[in-house]
Homo-oligomer: A and B are copies of this chain.
Amino acid sequence: FDLDLAAVYVSDAQYNRNIYFDTTPQAVRLYQLYNHWVLKVLLYFFILVNLGLAVFEEPAVITTPIWATMGAELLCLLAFTIRLVHYAKVIPRDKFWKDPKNICIILTLIDMIIYGALKSANCHALRWSRVLRPLLLVNVTEGRQLRRAFRSIRNALPQIFYVFLLFMFSVLIFSLMALKLLGKRGLKTINGAPYFTNYLDIVFDLYVLVTTANSPDVMMPAYNASFIFAIFFILYILINTYIFMSVFLAVVYNNYKKYLKEEVRQLVRARRHKMARAFAVLQERQEGAEPVVIQERWNQLIRLVRPDISNSHRELLWSVCDDKNQGKVAFMQLADLLNIEVITLKSRPHPLQGLCPALYLSAPSRLLCRLVQHRAFVITYDLIILVNAVFIGLDEENQVIANSEWVFLSLYLLEILLKLYVFEPRGFFSKHNFWNWFDTIIVVSALVATVVNSAVKSAGVYSSRQILDIVFILRVLRLIRVVDSIQRFRAIINTLIRIGPAILTFGQLIIVVYYIFAMVGMELFKGKVKFYGDDSVDPAKAFCGNRLLEGTDFAKLNYCKNNFNNVVSSFILLVELTVVNQCSGFAAVTHVSARIFFVLFHIVVVIIIINIFVAFVLEAFFVEYSVDKSDLQTSLEKKIEELELSVAQWLEDNLVNAMETIDNDLSGGQSANGKPALMFKIASKSKKH
């Protein structure tokens, strides 16, 4: 049991979890169950179902009876409640009741009951608790990243608020000036409406100008009258768009950094505390000497915490810990040590060599291997990709072009087969060889899709547009591979891939905010703007089914599909609003509420969330640029070198396809020892927090 408890402590420290539990054997088992991956996947599944219900609920994309969506929601709530009860068993009782999850679930239940009652009485009912659903995504999951982002926003709010007040003050002052300067000149907008005569309209127009959505339009009537007024607008844009928006970024970024630092400090403290408790459980006191953890227990522990680590990797870790002969101090670093990603390179002989050594080691076979490993091979394929790009750009109706696709496909397939012949397959498809995976998946799916497409075509039933689309996308995606050949690009791409998971966190954040705004927007604006298909002859098509839009730019530019009539179009509209706040159309329909809605959306998404995102990307790149290895990484590397297990620099550059090469060159020395030739390499350049 001791070992179980210690393992829980260590893995908690490693993954920076923050749950405290009592330490009876039963509680430890419950806690381990709570953190089991099956339960977590199930939880995410129910959250997805719960969020996805919006597609089926009124206003629905796919209309479904109320009992079905209500039933599904009840099921989800039940799942969350079970998870919550489980959670209550694991953490101290007093902490449980402070948890906001309870409130979310109870409020949702109340809302469902009221809604059901009102609906059965045929009254107008409102599902207001749908706004709470994304909050479950934040609260029910142990999404630390997401919660950290939320906390960092909460901490930045007071400072953002004061800058925002100042910014609004500036907008108000400029609006007053615009009213006084331009209101009495009898200018007309392009639609013939009076220009800049109503103060609130001016404030709104100038606020929208900050988002650059109505950039030259709002200024044109004044500019046409005299170029002096252009200076007014240029000053406005300089101060409010450029300076204030930069100040917002500065405030958000500064808070983000400050908060991150504080959080990391707390995590390090918590981790140290947990590792100390784990050591207390495992230590063996030798007379006179310091308490230590013996190797056998240490091995058992690692096996429990990280069953995926190989024996030799474990031995390497032990030798690093043991080397210092410091007992507790070395043990305390274990969590950090486990966090350093070490790539174990096992140089196995190629399976073909085992099957048919005479053939595989023959002169032509060796020549082939050398050819494939040569730089010219890469360059040849880069050229083929470029030619392919030109062919894709040409018209595929042409028979020659259509047939050339088969040639290219077989060339790519040949490349993969050749590489598989030369390099050891398990090395080729190891976790860290992103581009090998990418290549193979794209080429194989392209092959499958092309074959299916030809089969459908030759069967003469119909030419499926969907399959053809997939074929096209796969063909174009293949071209991306060329990026990997250029060293300079690889560095940037690698940084982007590394920050990928964190961008997903921001994706969740954005989805939470979008979901809330979509729900509110659908309640407020559903049905206000209608979309008529291309073949519709309804006269209402000219004004999107709303007489108020008659003659507006919104209708003229055919923006009718930008509406809140279902959850999908709401999301797409919100994305458009994030990019450019083109809300003039909606504002025309439902005057005040739409304006408030759009300004609020701009404040929350563009000023806060997008700035957090930018701050995050900036920080990630700065960390990449100023990469320092931690002490621990250095000592681990030193150990690897001491044991002569390191990958030589010249090999490292070639790592992607290098497995078999290592085997060939070192086989004389190492294989004679009878041991498998193992090599280690530290994967990540920067420590993850």
Contacts and interface: CB of A to CB of B under 8 A. Distances in A.
A579 interface: yes
Given A180-B392, A249-B618, A492-B163, A580 B227 contact: no
Interface residues of A, number: 78
Contacts of A575: 230, 234, 237
A393 B199 contact: yes
Contact of A561 (B220, B234, B569): B220
A576 interface: yes
Contact of A220 (B242, B557, B622): B557
A166 interface: yes
A76 to B, nearest CB: 26
A72 interface: no
B496 A572 contact: no
Interface in A169-213: 169, 173, 176-177, 179-181, 190, 199, 212
A579 B215 contact: yes
B237 A488 contact: no
A625 B483 CA distance: 40
A493 B170 CA distance: 12
Nearest to A246: B617
A412 interface: no
Interface string A224-265: 110100100010010001110011011101100000000000
A561 to B, nearest CB: 5
A627 interface: no
A249 B610 CA distance: 14
A609 B92 CA distance: 55
A110 B489 CA distance: 44
A44 B152 CA distance: 48
Given A166-B492, A237-B579, A173 B246 contact: no
Nearest to A626: B254
Interface string A442-459: 000000000000000000
B582 A215 contact: yes
Contact of A251 (B217, B475, B489, B621): B621
Nearest to A568: B227
A234 B169 contact: no
A670 interface: no
A250 B496 CA distance: 12
A165 B489 contact: yes
A480 interface: yes
B166 A483 contact: yes
Given A162-B489, A215-B582, A247-B617, A476 B241 contact: no
Contacts of A315: none
Interface in A573-616: 575-576, 579-580, 582, 610, 613-614
Nearest to A618: B250
The secondary structure that dominates the A interface is: helix
Contacts of A475: 180
Given A220-B559, A489-B165, A568-B227, A393 B176 contact: yes
B561 A162 contact: no
Contact of A479 (B176, B253, B389, B572): B176
B622 A254 contact: yes
Given A176-B392, A472-B177, A622-B250, A166 B534 contact: no
A480 B239 CA distance: 14
Given A177-B476, A180-B476, A579 B212 contact: yes
Contacts of A230: 572, 575
A614 B618 CA distance: 12
Given A216-B576, A557-B217, A580-B212, A173 B476 contact: yes
A223 interface: yes
A552 interface: no
Contacts of A241: 579
Nearest to A169: B483
A469 interface: yes
Contacts of A621: 247, 250-251, 254
A488 B576 contact: no
Contacts of A163: 492
Interface string A318-341: 000000000000000000000000
A473 B173 CA distance: 10
A299 interface: no
Nearest to A503: B243
Contacts of A199: 393
A108 interface: no
A664 interface: no
Contact of A253 (B243, B562, B618): B618
A614 to B, nearest CB: 5
A350 to B, nearest CB: 35
A558 interface: yes
B190 A558 contact: yes
Contacts of A389: 176
A241 B576 CA distance: 12
A557 B556 CA distance: 12
Contacts of A237: 575, 579
A478 to B, nearest CB: 10
B224 A561 contact: yes
Contacts of A234: 572, 575
B614 A246 contact: yes
A181 B575 CA distance: 21
Contact of A582 (B216, B242, B392): B216
Contacts of A473: 177, 180-181
29 contacts: A169-B483, A173-B479, A173-B480, A176-B389, A176-B393, A176-B479, A181-B469, A190-B558, A199-B393, A212-B212, A212-B579, A215-B580, A216-B559, A217-B557, A219-B576, A224-B534, A224-B561, A227-B568, A227-B569, A230-B575, A234-B575, A237-B579, A242-B610, A242-B614, A243-B617, A246-B617, A247-B621, A250-B621, A251-B621
Given A216-B576, A247-B496, A253-B618, 11 more contacts: A166-B492, A180-B392, A180-B396, A181-B472, A212-B212, A212-B579, A224-B558, A230-B572, A230-B575, A241-B579, A250-B617
Q: Which 9 A-B pairs have CB atoms at the shortest separation, nearest pair first? A: A250-B621, A180-B472, A246-B617, A215-B580, A177-B476, A162-B488, A230-B572, A215-B579, A250-B618
